[in-house]
Amino acid sequence: MPYAFIGVGQCGGAIIDSAFSDRFMFSIAVPVAINSATLDLETLANVPRECWIGISRERGFIPGSTPGFRHLVSGGYGKNRKLAEEHAITHRETLREVLLQVLGGEDEAVPVGVVAFSMGGGTGSGAGPVVARLLKEMNIPVVAVAVLPASHEGGLSAKNAVECLNALIDSADSVILVDNQKIAHSETMEALFRKYNSYVARGICDILAGTAKEGIGAEEQSYAPVLDLKDMISATTFSAGRRTLPGFAALGRASERTRGFLHYLFPFGGYREVDVVSLLYRSFMKLTVSGVAPEQAEKNLALLRVPPAYLSDTGRINTSMAKEVMEEHSRIGETHFGVAMTRRNIASATVLMTYRPAQIGRFEELERLAAQHQEVTLKVFEEYERRGEE
């Protein structure tokens, strides 16, 4: 069965919508958009109605095909995280049913669920972790793509984020962080959402395509290492005794064209030589979390995607150098490195750099802002210290 790529709330929906603008995604994943506001769902260009799930106050989770959907699913939660969480928990059973319906039945196991949502609002921040936990209970590994609010968004957003992070510790296997502080320099941050979403979506699509059997083109690969789902999970998870805790990963991606106009200048078949090391360094410069150092990552993952010609012997790319660079950027020398094929004339490097909560300065900042709004503390710090000692 294909992967499930679920967006909860406005931001989560926008991220999956961007991911499925690449039609190839439909061959490896099913999109699911969950929202409490039909108006938000109607803005989606690539996620069809049969993949919508509405949150109705009276009826709980309902499929997009439900008569009167528009009236049943309206209003949103207006940043009221607690209420969204409460409703999602109350209607968990309908969520399970409707989700299975959209994903195509109970028989086949979903290999991984990616759940995207913002942490600063109501719907995604409240219901996102509930969706993640439900998948986990169905024995589906869960990667959360969680969007941190920028500091200027204020105390309520920060408080929602802190509470959402607390809820995520037990609900997700890994967390990929997307920090809006990275685009906060702009006066109208909202104007950059589209571009930022597309950057994040491309990176996630690359990793999903690179770990999906259908996406790799493994038969054509002779020498290159291959990443699988287990690599993705172990690169972004910490073990503490018998338990595992989600790691917090920053995503980075850089790409370049592989064919120039001046074909004769290039080494083989019109393809340029790809400088993998510089691609990796460029991806480090564009990590999705503000204030983290790439060389301080606990562990990491890197995936290169190149056209098939580079996977042949003549087109060989230097994977051992790339692997070395990645090892230098892990404090414990753990890197998961792989190469996958793309049909586009583009070479890309996508990295996930995984951190512990104490290494992420933005968490402290959000905790401080949240405390100004209301007494609330971030449990992840204690949790990791305590469990680390077990």
Residues 120-139 as x/- pattern, contact with ligand GTP by CB under 6 A: xxxxx---------------
Q: Pick the piece of the chain touching ligand GTP (CB under 6 A) from 22-30, 75-83, 237-245, 357-365.
A: 75-83
CB of 197 to ligand GTP, least distance (A): 5
- Is the Cα torsion angle 106, 108, 112, 115 positive or negative in sign? negative
10, 33 Cβ separation under 8 angstroms: no
Window 33-52: contact mask with ligand GTP (x via CB under 6 A):
---x----------------
196 binds ligand GTP (CB under 6 A): yes
Helices 81-90/155-168 angle, 10° precision: 30
Note whether 360 binds ligand GTP by CB under 6 A: no
Q: Are 71 and 52 in contact (CB under 8 A)?
A: no
Report which secondary-structure segment, H or E, holds 172: none
Helix (H, G, I), strand (E, B) or coil at 12: helix
Per-residue binder mask for Mg ion (CB under 5 A), 66-105, x = binder: ----------x-----------------------------
- Give the binding range for ligand GTP (CB under 6 A) out of 6-14, 249-257, 348-356, 378-386: 6-14
Describe the strand order of the beta sheet including 248-257 as a list of residue ranges: 60-63, 52-56, 29-35, 3-8, 113-118, 142-148, 174-179, 248-257, 346-355, 299-306, 334-341
Interface residue with ligand GTP, options 17, 85, 153, 206 (CB under 6 A): 153
Q: State the Cα–Cα distance between residues 142 and 140, nearest whole angstrom.
A: 6
Kindly tell me which residue out of 78, 260, 267, 388 binds ligand GTP, with binding defined by CB under 6 A.
Answer: 78
- Which structure tokens are listed for 385? 């210290």
CA distances from 279 to 284, 324, 384 (A): 9, 14, 33
Contact flag: residue 294 with ligand GTP (CB under 6 A) = no
Which C-beta is closer to Mg ion: that of 2 or that of 149? Answer: 149
**188 with 180: CB under 8 angstroms?**
no
Q: Does 10 bind Mg ion (CB under 5 A)?
A: yes
Pick the piece of the chain touching Mg ion (CB under 5 A) from 9-17, 128-136, 158-166, 358-366. Answer: 9-17
76 touches ligand GTP (CB under 6 A): yes
Q: Which does 79 bind (CB under 5 to 8 A by kind): ligand GTP, Mg ion, none?
A: ligand GTP
Interface with ligand GTP includes 337 (CB under 6 A)?
Answer: no
**Distance in Å from the first CA to the final CA of the chain:** 37
Residue 147 binding result from ligand GTP, Mg ion, none, given CB thresholds of 5 to 8 Å by partner type: ligand GTP
Cβ 122 to ligand GTP shortest distance, Å: 3
Residue 120 partner contact from Mg ion, ligand GTP, none using kind-dependent CB cut-offs of 5 to 8 Å? ligand GTP
Q: Is the dihedral of CA 61, 66, 67, 73 positive or negative?
A: positive
For ligand GTP, the closer CB: 4 or 55: 55
Rounded to whole angstroms, the Cα distance separating 16 from 131 reads 15
Report the alpha-carbon distance of residue 242 to residue 71 in Å, rounded: 47
Residues that bind ligand GTP (CB under 6 A): 9-11, 14, 36, 76-79, 118, 120-124, 147, 149, 153, 157, 178, 180, 193, 196-197
Residues that bind Mg ion (CB under 5 A): 10, 76
